[in-house]
Amino acid sequence: MKPRLSRRPTLGITLGLALAWSSSAGATPVDALGLGARSKALGGASAAQAEDYSANYYNPSQLARFERLELSVGYTYASFSLESNSKPSHVSPVEAWMFGLVAPGRIAGVPVAFGMAAQLPQGFLSRSETIRESDPYWVFYEARMQLLYTSINLAVMPIEGWAIGVGTASLATTRGGFQIRGTTVAPGFGSKYASELEHEIDATLVSTRYPQVSTSLALDDVNLGLSYREEASLDTVVAASLDSVLEGKVNGEPALRVPFRYDVVVRSVKMFIPRQLNLAGAWTRKRLRVELDLTWYDWSSYQSPVSSTATEFDADPPEGVMINLPEANVSAPEDPRFKDRLVPRIGAEYAFPLGALFELPLRAGYAYEATPVPPQTGTTSYLDATRHLLSAGAGMKVQGLDPVLAGGLRLDLALQWGLLEQREQTKLNGDDLSTGGSFWVASVDTSLEF
C-alpha cells in the first residue's frame, strides 16, 4: 500500500516522523500466554496429553490420537497492571480470537491427522515500533504480544500408542519505507514555512516460519511427551530518504541552491522467540489427571529490541561553495546478555460426571518463570521480574447430539493471574529501578466434534 500525502512541514518535523514511524497491522499473545482455554487453565501443562486444538502448539504429535473432526473458536483477553519505579507502565491490553481445526483419518490403516491453529489480534494484523537504548521497555509484555500467529501440523501414529508430529508456525509483521522529496529553505535565507516537502509511506506485510517437531507415548496410566520448537525472529526495517534542494534567497532572488540527500535506515528486532525443548509427563487415575512439564528456553540467544541506525549524507554544492558533511554513522545496540531458563509447569484436572450425557471438568495449574533478564545497571532498562502464574478453569461437555455432532459439544473457560515479584535494581549512575505488578487473562473456547 502506498498512501501519498503532500504537506509543508519543516525538515526537523519530517525527519522526526520518519524515525518515529510505526506501522499498524496485527498481534497475538500465544507464546507469552499460551493457546486454548483448557491448556491455559492447566498453566500450560499440556504437552503430554492435549485434548483439543492447542495440541498444534504444545505437542503436534497428539493430533494423531483424535478420532473425530473438530472445529474450535475462542476468545482471550489480557489486562496488565505493571509498574516501573512505582508508576503505572500503561501496557495495552490484548484481545484476540482463536481458531482451531483437527482433521483425523487413516492411510493404509495408520492413524494420521492434520491440524491448524491461529490467534488473530482484534483490530490489527501487525504492529511495529522502535525503541531507543535508554527507553524503559517491558520486553515480554509489549511487542511480544503484537503478532499474528498461525500453525499447521501433520501427525502420524505408526505404532499403537506412539505418535510423531511435524509442522511449522509463522509470525507476521510489516516492513516499510519513508521517502521525502522537495525544497527546503536554508536558515537565514527565508521563512522555514516556505519549505515544500512531500512524503510517501510504503508498507508491506511479511512473515517468518519456524519448524516444530514432537513425539508422544501413551502407556496404561502414563503419557509422555517431547517437543521442540526452533528459534524465530522478526525485524522491523524503516528506510527514510530525504531527497531535496536546500534553497536560499536574497531580496526574492535565488542566491543558493544545493541538491542534497539524507538516508536513514532504522532496524530493530520486533519479535524474538527462543528455541524451546519441552519434556512432559501426565498421570491418569480414573477421573483425575496430573501433568508436569519442564521447558528449556534458549534466552541467551535473545536479540536486542533496541534500534540500530545507519545514516549517510550526500550533497552537490555549486563550484566554490564548501559544505562540511557529517560522516556516515552506524550505531548498534549492546548485547542484552539474557540467561537460559528452565520453566516448570504443573496442571491438574478432575472430570465430574453429570449423568450419561454431561461431564464437568475442573482444572487448575501453576507455572514458575524466573526472569532471564540480567540486572539492568547500565544504559538499558529492560523491565521484567520473576513471575508466578496461577490458573483455574472449568469445562462442559455435552454428548448425544447425533447425527450432526456425533462427538458432542464442548465449552471451556479459563482464568489466569500472574504476579511479578518486586525487583529492585541500582544503576551504575546511582539511579534506582524497580519493577513489579500483575496481570490477568480470561479465555473461552467452543469446540464441535463431528
Per-residue pLDDT tens over the stretch 146-158 = 567 889 999 999 9
Mean pLDDT to the nearest integer, 365-385: 93
User: What is the model's pLDDT at position 407?
Assistant: 80
User: What is the model's pLDDT at position 216?
Assistant: 97
The separation between CA 321 and the C-alpha centre of its own chain, rounded to angstroms, equals: 52
Q: Give the domain range for residue 43.
A: 4-449
User: What is the model's pLDDT at position 186?
Assistant: 54
Buried b / exposed e along 69-99 (16+ C-beta atoms within 10 A) = bbebebebebebebbbeeeebebeebbbebe
Give which of 142, 117, 140 is closest to 129, Cα–Cα: 142
Whether the predicted pLDDT of 8 surpasses 50:
no
Which CA distances in Å does 263 have to 122, 143, 203, 260? 35, 26, 18, 10
Domain containing 91 — which CATH number?
2.40.160.60
User: What is the model's pLDDT at position 18?
Assistant: 40
Whether the predicted pLDDT of 44 surpasses 60:
yes
Greater model confidence, 93 or 281: 281
Pair 245, 257: CB distance under 8 Å? yes
- Read off the pLDDT band of 179 (50, 70, 90): low
The percent of residues in the chain predicted with pLDDT above 90, rounded, is 48
Claim: this prediction has a pTM higher than 0.85: no
User: What is the model's pLDDT at position 187?
Assistant: 58
User: What is the model's pLDDT at position 397?
Assistant: 87
Whether the predicted pLDDT of 205 surpasses 80:
no
User: What is the model's pLDDT at position 158?
Assistant: 96
Per-residue pLDDT tens over the stretch 259-285 = 777 777 777 777 788 999 999 999 999
Mean pLDDT to the nearest integer, 54-73: 95
Number of domains in the chain: 1
3-state helix, strand, coil split of the chain in percent (to 5) is: 10, 60, 30
User: What is the model's pLDDT at position 252?
Assistant: 59
Give which of 84, 82, 81 is closest to 431, Cα–Cα: 84
Q: In sequence order, what are the residues at sequence separation of 6 or more whose Cβ sits closer than 8 angstroms to the Cβ of residue 239?
A: 176, 177, 178, 263, 264, 265, 266
Mean pLDDT to the nearest integer, 374-382: 91
User: What is the model's pLDDT at position 26?
Assistant: 33
- Read off the pLDDT band of 417 (50, 70, 90): very high
User: What is the model's pLDDT at position 253?
Assistant: 58
Q: How many CB atoms lie within 10 A of CB 230?
A: 16
Q: CA geometry: angle at 132 spanning 128 and 134, to 5°?
A: 140
Whether the predicted pLDDT of 38 surpasses 80:
yes
Mean pLDDT to the nearest integer, 82-104: 91
- The residue whose grid cell reads 450425557 is 357
User: What is the model's pLDDT at position 175?
Assistant: 57
Q: Phi first, then psi: give them for residue 11, nearest 5 degrees.
A: -60, -45
DSSP string, 231-247: -EEEEEEEEEEEEEEEE
Whether the predicted pLDDT of 370 surpasses 60:
yes
User: What is the model's pLDDT at position 283?
Assistant: 96
Greater model confidence, 35 or 172: 35
Whether the predicted pLDDT of 250 surpasses 90:
no
Residue type, 195: S
